[in-house]
A = this chain, B = another copy of it.
Amino acid sequence: MKVAVMGYGTVGSGVVEVIESHSNIIPKRIGGDTLEVAHILDLRDFPNDPHKDIFTKDFNDILNDPEVKIVAETMGGVNPAFDFTMKLLKAGKSVVTSNKELVAQKGLELLQAAEESGANYLIEASVGGGIPIIRPLTQCLAANNIEGIAGILNGTTNFILTMMIEKGMSFDEALKIAQEKGYAEKDPTADVEGHDACRKVCILASLAFGKHVYPSQVSAEGITNISLEDVSYINSVNGVIKLLGQIKYISDDKIAAFVSPAVVYNGSQLASVKDVFNAVLVRGDAVGDVCFYGAGAGKLPTASAVVADIIDCAKHTERKKIFGWGAGDEDYVVDYKSTIKMPFYVRANAGESEISAKFDDVKFLSRTGQPSNEVAFITDIMTENELTQRLEGVDVINTIKVTNY
């Protein structure tokens, strides 16, 4: 069976490698047929690549090849990936993707196009790299009302936070090492400001609750404000700071979804997720908490998820998988700040008596080297708006949500 790969970057070249290096098992998994990469689309030249005979710069070579029924889109970005994917799906070709930006922005239209033409649009690699999450969520947990999801969805920020927690590095030092190791880009904004995690939250929310959620609907707060002082206070209550994407079911017409640093207590499966690893915890009404852990990025892990989707398409050539979601709407994602109650960690230049006068019930924390005019505490549960109100007049240094996952 002939397939094409669009985008020969890290993931795309990994897809070609995994297909070629797993020719021993792929036919068994498909049920007989082999996979053959017939075209690789990339505008760049790869003169020394052993696949040079199958490179093309013309998308039409793929679109017009009647033998190619499955295409892997590993280009990233919305354009021209959207246009290419749409044309392929309309032509009845199945597309599998690792492109979270495209799925988060345009997943609805692409899934609808697939639905209409009878092709498949599969997206396992768009969340959590190699971690199986899309299928478990849609198939294995199909008999659950999902109550909530919390995920460590960005490896770069998890690496930085791990260095801060375990090695006592500052954010800047940890970022520098992440860049040296190739985990963080030169401009790390998309990672450290939570935009990358935000896209994955959109995809998980769309899938779990059946309505498209757009990145613009999800508030994203990054980790640049986290200091070693915060790490130290939170360590004193057996907690760690993680960048979490959180999704909460409110009603069939309302969900909350946000990305932010969060205090996770040790004992949670999310607390032990270190370095560049990712994990997604799903809370179902029947199954309770289940958690999926693994490499959230990287060439071969992500490629292995793309190829698993290709295999699935190859097994289902004559039949569409029931998979997807419907349209969302403007009011679907609520303002979590006025809706969702939780405890908060607060650090401020203040005295305990000033805080005690403003909160009924707080737990004060301490750290080595704590200045006499600094206070840190964990509040009772309340909305973020109520917290802001109570903190009026207090010289706040930082506040961090405390999660119940």
Contact = CB atoms under 8 A, between A and B. Distances in A.
Given A272-B272, A290-B294, 11 more contacts: A26-B143, A132-B139, A132-B141, A132-B290, A132-B292, A136-B292, A269-B272, A284-B304, A286-B307, A287-B305, A290-B295
Contacts of A24: 145
Contacts of A292: 132, 136, 290-293
A357 interface: no
Given A290-B131, A308-B139, A312-B139, A274 B284 contact: no
Interface of A: 18-19, 22, 24-26, 28-31, 124, 130-132, 135-136, 138-145, 210, 267, 269, 271-274, 284, 286-295, 298, 300-301, 303-305, 307-308, 310-312, 315, 319, 322
A159 to B, nearest CB: 15
A287 B304 contact: yes
A306 to B, nearest CB: 8
Contacts of A300: 286-288
Nearest to A125: B140
A167 to B, nearest CB: 14
A286 B144 contact: no
Contacts of A272: 267, 269, 271-272
B294 A144 contact: no
A142 B24 CA distance: 12
Nearest to A300: B286
Nearest to A24: B145
Contact of A286 (B28, B274, B304, B319): B304
B132 A29 contact: no
B22 A145 contact: yes
Contact of A136 (B25, B28, B136): B136
Contacts of A271: 272
Contacts of A294: 287-291
B287 A301 contact: yes
Query: Which 3 A-B pairs rank lowest in CB-CB distance, beginning with the nearest?
Result: A132-B140, A143-B307, A290-B294
Contacts of A303: 143, 286
A18 B143 contact: yes
A286 B301 contact: yes
Contacts of A288: 130, 294-295, 298, 300-301
A268 to B, nearest CB: 9
Contacts of A145: 22, 24-25
Contacts of A26: 142-143
Nearest to A318: B319
A286 B136 contact: no
A308 B142 contact: yes
Nearest to A320: B31
A139 B130 contact: no
A10 B130 CA distance: 35
Contacts of A308: 139-143
A146 to B, nearest CB: 9
B143 A132 contact: no
B304 A144 contact: yes
Residue among A142, A143, A292, A295 having the largest count of chain B Cβ atoms under 10 Å: A143
A30 B298 CA distance: 34
B287 A142 contact: no
Given A132-B136, A304-B287, A293 B269 contact: yes
Contacts of A25: 142-143, 145
6 contacts: A24-B145, A130-B287, A135-B139, A267-B272, A290-B294, A290-B295
A228 B140 CA distance: 38
Contacts of A130: 284, 286-288, 290
A22 B143 contact: yes
Contacts of A311: 139, 142-143
